[in-house]
Amino acid sequence: MTAASRSLQITGLAGAAALRARINERVTAALEPIALRPVAARVAFFDDNGPKGGGIRCALTVRLPRRPALRVEHVAGTPRLAFDGGFDALGRLLERYRERDRDSRRRPKKYFAAKRLTEGVPRRPQRSRKRPGEQRRSSARES
């Protein structure tokens, strides 16, 4: 992600420069095909059980303009496995998002469809809206 309009924030991961570089590379590549440019992406790591050991939770959140945030989580034994599982879930979510966006662009909007329907039909000439009885009255008065 470029620093000009978007940011990637990684929290809860002490050290691990190689994992940070991997996260930055993969998240940036996954967000490139989206038509809307994300405002922010956040990758947060939490230790679920604290000092007892156990699972590491990785939460990935992507904020898009004028849309609800996309958020996925995954729990695994190490931060890398947690990220990989969460990233796979984010990839599936982004794919559904792209499909939904593509499908909505393929369907014509109602005003566009109505205009296309009326353009192909030749217009009938406008007839006067006088009723037959009104014509007789006016002609009767003239004579």
Q: Which distant-in-sequence residues (6+ apart) come within 8 Å of 38 by Cβ?
A: 1, 6, 31, 62, 63, 64
Mean pLDDT, the chain, integer: 78
What pLDDT shows up at residue 109? 65
Three-state SS for 17?
Answer: helix
Structural domain contains residue 135: no
Assess if residue 48 is contained within a domain.
yes
- In sequence order, which residues have a C-beta less than 8 Å from that of residue 128 and are 6 or more positions away? none
How many angstroms separate the CA atoms of 113 and 123, rounded?
A: 17
pTM of the complete model beyond 0.85:
no
Q: Pick the more confident residue, 103 or 72.
A: 72
Note whether residue 133 is domain-resident. Answer: no
For residue 79, is it within any domain?
yes
**83: in domain:** yes
Q: Is the pLDDT of residue 5 over 50?
A: no
Say yes or no to pLDDT of 2 above 50: no
**Which of 23-37, 43-57, 63-77 is most confident?**
63-77
Report the number of distinct structural domains present in the chain.
1
What pLDDT was estimated at residue 134? 60
CATH number, domain at 41? 3.30.160.100
Domain assignment of residue 74, yes or no: yes
> How does DSSP assign 58-111, residue by residue?
EEEEEE-TTSPPEEEEEEESSHHHHHHHHHHHHHHHHHHHHHHHHHHHHSPPHH
Range of the domain at 67: 7-116
Taking the C-alpha atoms of residue 103 and residue 110, their distance in angstroms, rounded to an integer, is 15
Tokens of 33: 């095909």
- pLDDT at residue 95, as a whole number: 87
The verdict on residue 134 lying in a domain is: no
Residue 132 lies in a domain: no
